[in-house]
Structure 1
Amino acid sequence: MTSILTNNSAMAALSTLRSISSSMEDTQSRISSGLRVGSASDNAAYWSIATTMRSDNQALSAVQDALGLGAAKVDTAYSGMESAIEVVKEIKAKLVAATEDGVDKTKIQEEIDQLQEQLVSIAEAASFSGENWLQTDLTAAGGSEVKSVVGSFVRDASGNVSVKKVDYTLDNTTVLFDVGGDTGILDAQTSIEQDSITLTVNKDGVETEVTVVSYTTDDVIADTGSVFTGDSATGGGRSYVKVGNDTWVEAVDQSTVATQEVAYNDGTTSWAIDTTKVPGTITTASVADLSINNSTTTGQLDQLIQMVDDALTSMTSAASSLGSISSRIDMQSEFVSKLSDSIEAGVGRLVDADMNEESTRLKALQTQQQLAIQALSIANSDSQNVLSLFR
């Protein structure tokens, strides 16, 4: 039936054209945005996953920035520690040189003074973004302070998220200077004892080891009014006996300690070792403020050298820890970069449009649209044909 009121052919052609136009809009949207799933209406599940993972990827980008900042802090601290180690090595070498006979120790101290000032300069300069890991107020921090570097952003199987950190503890084994006290590696005070020697003495037939103050021949001579009689000497209020090569100890008249074996008989007096003369603390010193002069004994220098060597051991350990953290940050930064790329690629597989496929589809839809328009044009012309029936 032919009707001028209802044109079924035109309606069918129009419906087809509308469907093609809608498909073209979808295809053009995918081509322009590059996304197959651009909104939740396209694919709710994929859109939800992609949105969540893009959010995580942004967090990972922030982690990469934080790792860069953390690496700068660690590298600054490591560079400072490495430089400080070299300076402390020089101080140790100067002290060893001071043990040589005839050396002017005051001149060596002048060099040590400059090295100590350099240590302070290094510690003060080793700061990045307001963070200084070589000097801090350990006293105010309760003895230790934990510094953290952001390491990673983690989402577990339950969907819970957390930020993992790399910790580095500032304490008396890692900090060079404690600005609130004297507990850092370089400003920690060490007791310097009097020179001593451990001897075996015989009391009532029982041999006992005792540690007593020792003196060199020069020390004995320096004692006001020293008078030598063989291997014994008396000075300004003290008496001495020789117990080794250039080694003397204080002595008492054997008759006052009759239970002790005679250490030396000078023909006038029988001398016994004064076992009450135990070594005491002369002074306290640190690597940062140690001081020597021409009266500093070899024994005291040995103690100072040991103190500096102990500091070097602590500094080397701290530098090793900083180096390990730096290496870990580098590895973590590389991993985060690869992880971010993997997440981006995974999201792309879910939501990115296949441009080859979309371009092919667009060409086909354009052809279909042209045909649909032609079909609609033909269908609309049917009503014009009715006029020919009335001619």
Structure 2
Amino acid sequence: MTSIMTNASAMTALQSLSATNRSLETTQGRISTGFRVSEAADNAAYWSIATTMRSDNKALSTVQDALGLGASKVDTAYTAMNRAVEIANEIKVKIVAAVGQSEDNKSKIQTEIETLKTQLKSYADGATFSGTNWLAVNSTVANGHAAAGTHNDAQIISSFNRDNDGNVVLTTIKIGVQDVKLFDAAATTNETKGILEGIRDTTTGARTDGHTQAVAGTVAATTGYSIATLDVVGFSDQQIQQMLVVVDKTLAEMTDAATKLGAAKKSVDLQKTFVSQLMDSIDRGVGQLVDADMSKESTRLQALQVQQQLGIQALSIANGNAQNILALFKG
């Protein structure tokens, strides 16, 4: 049936052209933004996943910064501890040299020891980065510690992730400051004082509460020594040999402390590498979900542009059919 009221061909052509235009608009949007899912309306599930993962990646970027800061703190303490070990070894050599010496020579040796002791304190005090010092501390109750002289572990944020329920989980790398500190201004007992200042037993070399600094010429079971208070002037060879035991044990503890700091340094470095790789993996994963395939979209764009031209042509033909009806009324 031929009708001038209803042009079915034009309707069909218009619907087809409208569908082509919508597809063309979508494709052009993907090409201009680079995303096939740029908002929730495009794909709610993928958009939600991508948005969450992007947010988590920003948090990981902060973790990466924290690891960088933590690495600097550990490296500072590690470097100072290694230098302190070298100085303590020199003190050990001086103690050995003092055995059998005259008081005049002991006085000269003590002058060298005092210089080395000052250098040890300087290394400890100088091991500060961004206001943090793990070698020379002041572990007071006011700073939130359990007891005066007992320092809490330092913590470096190492990762940001989610559990199976989607809850955020932060993990940290802990540094046992109590085990590596060389001086503690707040400590009141030998066992809680720093490695260099706690009075040590003359037999075991362990920091022992109740022991006091030994007096020249007097050997007692409850007296001891520490590197921080070491003095060979006026002391007998027997006492100097006891000092050697104390210095040797102190060196062993300092070596253990350097080992712990070295292990923490390695752990932080490994975690920095892992976090960097993890961020790249998340970026790739998000890209798989929401990025547009530009090769595919460009090909699709060309096809849709052809379809659009054909649709316009078809609509033009359909609209022209109404004009042909006029020919029926010409005489």
Length-normalised TM-score, structure 1 = 0.73
Aligned residues with identical type, % of pairs: 51
Equivalent position of 2:211 in the other structure: none
User: What amino acid is aligned across from residue 178 of structure 1 in structure 2?
Assistant: D
Equivalent position of 2:108 in the other structure: 107
Q: Which of the residues 136, 149, 163 maps onto 1:156?
A: 163
Larger deviation: 358-367 or 62-71? 62-71
Equivalent position of 1:134 in the other structure: 135
1:227-242 alignment runs, 5 A limit? none
SS in 1 for 2:261: helix
Gaps of 5+ in 2: 204-216
User: What amino acid is aligned across from residue 183 of structure 2 in structure 1?
Assistant: F
1:118-129 alignment runs, 5 A limit? 118-129=119-130
State the aligned residue count: 306
Q: Which of the residues 284, 287, 292 maps onto 2:227?
A: 287
Deviation at 1:389, TM superposition (A): 3.9
Q: Report which of the two has the higher share of helix.
A: 2
Query: Following the alignment from structure 1 to structure 2, what is the Cα–Cα distance between the partners of residues 106 and 279?
Result: 20
Query: Following the alignment from structure 2 to structure 1, what is the Cα–Cα distance between the partners of residues 221 and 76?
Result: 38
Deviation at 1:282, TM superposition (A): 9.5
1:24-173 alignment runs, 5 A limit? 24-102=24-102, 104-140=105-141, 141=145, 142=147, 143-171=150-178, 173=179
Change (3 A) 1:51 1:337: same
Equivalent position of 1:177 in the other structure: 183
Deviation at 1:32, TM superposition (A): 1.4
Larger deviation: 371-380 or 4-13? 4-13
Q: Which of the residues 182, 187, 200 maps onto 2:197?
A: 187
SS in 2 for 1:288: helix
Q: Which of the residues 286, 305, 312 maps onto 2:244?
A: 305
User: What amino acid is aligned across from residue 288 of structure 1 in structure 2?
Assistant: A
Deviation at 1:51, TM superposition (A): 1.9
Query: Following the alignment from structure 2 to structure 1, what is the Cα–Cα distance between the partners of residues 260 and 222?
Result: 35
Please, what is the CA RMSD of the aligned residues?
2.2
Deviation at 1:139, TM superposition (A): 4.9
Deviation at 1:101, TM superposition (A): 3.7
Query: Following the alignment from structure 1 to structure 2, what is the Cα–Cα distance between the partners of residues 138 and 94?
Result: 32
Query: Following the alignment from structure 1 to structure 2, what is the Cα–Cα distance between the partners of residues 68 and 337?
Result: 11
Q: Deviations over 1:80-106 (max 9, x none)?
A: 111111111111111111114447011
Equivalent position of 2:210 in the other structure: none
Would you say the 8 A contact 1:139–1:178 is kept in 2?
A: no
Equivalent position of 2:289 in the other structure: 350
Change (3 A) 1:341 1:282: closer
SS in 1 for 2:180: coil
SS in 2 for 1:302: helix
Query: Following the alignment from structure 1 to structure 2, what is the Cα–Cα distance between the partners of residues 282 and 345?
Result: 66
Moved over 4 A (4+): 281-284
SS in 2 for 1:152: strand
2:269 is aligned with 1:330 = yes
Query: Following the alignment from structure 1 to structure 2, what is the Cα–Cα distance between the partners of residues 25 and 302?
Result: 89
SS in 2 for 1:163: strand
Query: Following the alignment from structure 1 to structure 2, what is the Cα–Cα distance between the partners of residues 191 and 69?
Result: 39
Gaps of 5+ in 1: 194-218, 220-277
User: What amino acid is aligned across from residue 132 of structure 2 in structure 1?
Assistant: E
User: What amino acid is aligned across from residue 317 of structure 1 in structure 2?
Assistant: D
Query: Following the alignment from structure 2 to structure 1, what is the Cα–Cα distance between the partners of residues 182 and 12?
Result: 87
Query: Following the alignment from structure 1 to structure 2, what is the Cα–Cα distance between the partners of residues 284 and 328?
Result: 37
Query: Following the alignment from structure 1 to structure 2, what is the Cα–Cα distance between the partners of residues 384 and 43?
Result: 45
Query: Following the alignment from structure 2 to structure 1, what is the Cα–Cα distance between the partners of residues 100 and 219?
Result: 24
Q: Deviations over 1:196-226 (max 9, x none)?
A: xxxxxxxxxxxxxxxxxxxxxxx9xxxxxxx
Query: Following the alignment from structure 1 to structure 2, what is the Cα–Cα distance between the partners of residues 289 and 181?
Result: 16
Change (3 A) 1:17 1:329: same
Deviation at 1:108, TM superposition (A): 0.9
Change (3 A) 1:88 1:365: same
Change (3 A) 1:131 1:58: same
Query: Following the alignment from structure 2 to structure 1, what is the Cα–Cα distance between the partners of residues 95 and 111?
Result: 12
Deviation at 1:30, TM superposition (A): 1.2
